[in-house]
Amino acid sequence: MAALTLGAIGVVYGDIGTSPLYALKEVFAHGHVPLTAENIYGVLSLVFWTLTVVVSIKYVVLILRADNNGEGGLIAMLALASQAVKDRPALRRRLLLIGIFGTAIFFGDGVITPAISVLSAVEGIEVAAPGLHPYIVPVTLVVLTALFMVQRQGTGSVGKFFGPVTALWFLVLAVLGLLHIVDNPAILWALSPHYALIFLLGHPHIAFIALGSVVLCVTGAEALYADMGHFGKRPIRLAWFSLAMPALVLNYFGQGAMLLVSPENVRNPFYEMAPTWALYPLIGLATCATVIASQALITAAFSVTKQAIQLGYLPRLRILHTSVKETGQVYVPFINWGLYTCIVLAVVAFGTSSKLASAYGIAVTIDMLITTTMTFFVIRYGWKYPWSLSFAATGFFFIVDFVYFGANIVKVFDGGWFPVVIGGIMFMLMMTWKQGRRLMTARLREDAIDLKSFLEAVFVSPPTRVEGTAVFLVSDQGITPNALLHNLKHNKVLHETNLFVTVKQHEVPWISFDKRCELVALGRDCWQVTLNFGFKNDPDVPEALALLRNRGCNVDDMETSYFLSRDIVIPSPGGGMADWREKLFAGMHRNSTAAADFLSLPINRVVELGTKVEI
């Protein structure tokens, strides 16, 4: 439990733990919220109760209960919600759209988080030596470049340092805050919610602007749910209540206590808290903490990509496993360098953490709204709770999330457009791929031949049977694969044993080996096989087929050949999608990773036969 809790501190709370670098600064930095004692108390009260309501109650207490076979995250929640309303197809389609949009927006968050975190840490050198200001962006780019270059090595080798370094970071946050709270203990009165209410009701316009920055204190809260499968509920809850939340509250209140005495420190209150002698070590520690926070989000982006591919919303991409022990540790080169390119653009274009903060909140609040919405349908239709109780459990959180979303939507033209554009592009790609695959399957089905009827016709005058096993991969059960037709046409032989294999991806994280294979005998040593994988399983066809040896269908690895159809998509005018989307789908299909690699087939035993498909 201690090891899991320490690991959760490093991975789960890295992002939210770096929020004190910029959250309170952004509230007062632009002059929209006057730096008065009344406003400081009001803002600190808002920060404390936002952490309490959004993180402690909503995520830690409620949403952690919504696990999908022990797994969490937006895709796991989407799978739970869609399963809960599977008997309501129209509602299910809408929920899928909302969930996939939230997943797409996550990639926008994945760009902003490393950019603002590392940039805000490096900006500390300006406090120590104002003359070094021109070097902030170059140093940030160097740190980020190094971070993305080591991704190929995997997080396993450096992950063991995440917990201790982040725990040290939280202890430093707490100590810095305590030093200033001791000087002005009256600041602790801001724990009372009436200060937040006075601020909200007494200055609604100013408070609305402040909320757009206050929400930055809960950035990274989604990681609580997303990383549940790695650590479990109890370590995540224990890490939050024992260290992360107390340290964050102490630091924010310490910043507030300092600003009451020295309002001129508002330009960077976090670093101004530190004694002069500790400034450079603090900058180094902050940079390490932000790199860890960024690493956790980049790793999450790889995992989300893998899950989206296996649910059929992204084309196959090259996925490298960086650990022989942990199946969840993967590296996706295309996503890695795509994120890096967008992050570099963000750092160069925005230049400061203050400008990036305007772009940050909107992506976070959209995902929070979507998670709350999905939770309602899980509670109501999955857990079968009464409508009134389901609404009560999520309605309050929805209002809170919506208020924060409204406070951030006004910042769309100040930079909030950036993650929305990234999310919009990803959503368009994901929906184009999903719809293109649907059109392609429908087109193949139009020209398809029923497998049982075809085999009966073939065995009326059977071709020569050769030794070995032929595995034909087919997307639709009961359909004659094109690879079989081509093999009979050109080679005029049929293997001694023939398996017609369909790989199915399901909306659950894991499917155990005892449910992996479904076998139906077609006669004359021909078998129809269905292989079932969850969205966190690694599709490994040879490993799955080996499970058939005790079921009357012996598959010898050395005597097995795998036949695949390599479909070439030809866009055609009329019907289907818009012309540009059909061309985009054709390009995505052409550049996707080969099915042989994705399904872990032995390359030296794969035969690909091409066919053209018009959509």
The CATH number for 64's domain is 1.20.1740.10
Whether residue 389 is contained in a domain is answered as: no
The pLDDT of 468-492, averaged and rounded, is: 86
What pLDDT is attached to residue 323?
Answer: 59
Residues in the chain: 615
What pLDDT is attached to residue 193?
Answer: 94
Q: Which of 81-90, 150-159, 470-479, 571-580 has the lowest mean pLDDT?
A: 150-159
Closest CA to 218 of 48, 63, 36: 48
Q: Which domain holds residue 212?
A: 2-372+399-434
Residue 579 CA to residue 510 CA, distance in Å, equals 38
Q: In this structure, are 102 and 223 located in the same domain?
A: yes
DSSP three-state, residue 436? helix
The string of DSSP letters for 262-319 reads -GGGGGSHHHHTS-GGGHHHHHHHHHHHHHHHHHHHHHHHHHHHHHHHHTTSS-----
The pLDDT of 80-90, averaged and rounded, is: 86
What pLDDT is attached to residue 474?
Answer: 87
Q: In this structure, are 353 and 220 located in the same domain?
A: yes
532-550, pLDDT tens digit by residue?
A: 988 778 888 998 888 887 7
What pLDDT is attached to residue 450?
Answer: 87
What pLDDT is attached to residue 195?
Answer: 94
255-308, pLDDT tens digit by residue?
A: 999 999 999 888 889 999 989 888 889 999 998 888 888 887 887 888 888 888
Q: Which residue has the higher pLDDT, 611 or 19?
A: 19
**Plot region of 575 (φ>0 → left; ψ -120 to 50 → alpha; else → beta):** left
Whether residue 319 is contained in a domain is answered as: yes
What pLDDT is attached to residue 141?
Answer: 93
What pLDDT is attached to residue 531?
Answer: 92
The string of DSSP letters for 135-179 reads GHHHHHHHHHHHHHHTGGG-SHHHHHHHHHHHHHHHHHHHHHHHH
Whether residue 35 is contained in a domain is answered as: yes
Q: In this structure, are 410 and 494 located in the same domain?
A: no
**Is the separation of the CB atoms in 435 and 577 below 8 Å?**
yes
The pLDDT of 338-351, averaged and rounded, is: 91
With bands split at pLDDT 50, 70 and 90, how would you rate the model's confidence at 20? very high
Whether residue 278 is contained in a domain is answered as: yes
Indicate the number of domains in the chain.
2
The string of DSSP letters for 456-524 reads HHHTTS--EEEEEEEEEE-SSTTB--HHHHHHHHHH-EEEEEEEEEEEEEESSS---GGGTEEEEEEET
* Encoded amino acid at 198, one letter: I
What pLDDT is attached to residue 134?
Answer: 86
Question: Does the pLDDT at position 72 exceed 60?
Answer: yes
Question: Does the pLDDT at position 158 exceed 60?
Answer: no
Q: In this structure, are 364 and 456 located in the same domain?
A: no
Question: Does the pLDDT at position 113 exceed 60?
Answer: yes
What pLDDT is attached to residue 327?
Answer: 53
With bands split at pLDDT 50, 70 and 90, how would you rate the model's confidence at 529? very high
Q: In this structure, are 156 and 24 located in the same domain?
A: yes
Residue 285 CA to residue 491 CA, distance in Å, equals 66
In the block, which residue shows the tokens 């818009």?
578
DSSP three-state, residue 416? coil
Q: In this structure, are 459 and 427 located in the same domain?
A: no
Question: Does the pLDDT at position 74 exceed 90?
Answer: no
Whether residue 378 is contained in a domain is answered as: no
With bands split at pLDDT 50, 70 and 90, how would you rate the model's confidence at 182? very high
What pLDDT is attached to residue 252?
Answer: 96
Indicate the average pLDDT of the chain. 86
Whether residue 41 is contained in a domain is answered as: yes
Q: In this structure, are 176 and 318 located in the same domain?
A: yes
Residue 326 CA to residue 337 CA, distance in Å, equals 23
Residue 428 CA to residue 435 CA, distance in Å, equals 10
Question: Does the pLDDT at position 325 exceed 60?
Answer: no
**Is the separation of the CB atoms in 177 and 252 below 8 Å?**
yes
Q: In this structure, are 421 and 478 located in the same domain?
A: no
Q: In this structure, are 429 and 453 located in the same domain?
A: no
The pLDDT of 191-216, averaged and rounded, is: 90
What pLDDT is attached to residue 163?
Answer: 83
352-395, pLDDT tens digit by residue?
A: 888 888 777 888 888 889 989 988 998 988 888 899 988 888 89
**Is the separation of the CB atoms in 374 and 81 below 8 Å?**
yes
What pLDDT is attached to residue 155?
Answer: 57
Q: In this structure, are 16 and 126 located in the same domain?
A: yes
In the block, which residue shows the tokens 């080679």?
491
Whether residue 382 is contained in a domain is answered as: no
Residue 51 CA to residue 248 CA, distance in Å, equals 9
What pLDDT is attached to residue 199?
Answer: 92
Whether residue 387 is contained in a domain is answered as: no
The pLDDT of 601-610, averaged and rounded, is: 85
With bands split at pLDDT 50, 70 and 90, how would you rate the model's confidence at 14? confident
β-bridge pairing 320-321 and 330-331: antiparallel
What pLDDT is attached to residue 492?
Answer: 87
Which phi and psi (to 5°) does residue 469 adopt? -120, 135
Question: Does the pLDDT at position 154 exceed 60?
Answer: yes
**Is the separation of the CB atoms in 495 and 561 below 8 Å?**
yes
The string of DSSP letters for 76-118 reads HHHHHHHHHTTT-HHHHHHHHHHHHHHHHHHHHHHHHHHHHHH
Q: In this structure, are 404 and 456 located in the same domain?
A: no
What pLDDT is attached to residue 490?
Answer: 84
Q: Of 22-31, 36-45, 126-135, which has the strongest mean pLDDT?
A: 36-45
208-251, pLDDT tens digit by residue?
A: 888 988 998 988 787 778 777 767 788 889 999 999 999 999 99
Residues near 293 by Cβ (< 8 Å), separated by ≥ 6? 14, 15, 17, 18, 113, 114, 117, 220
**Is the separation of the CB atoms in 159 and 11 below 8 Å?**
yes
Q: In this structure, are 42 and 127 located in the same domain?
A: yes
* Encoded amino acid at 293, one letter: A
With bands split at pLDDT 50, 70 and 90, how would you rate the model's confidence at 328? low
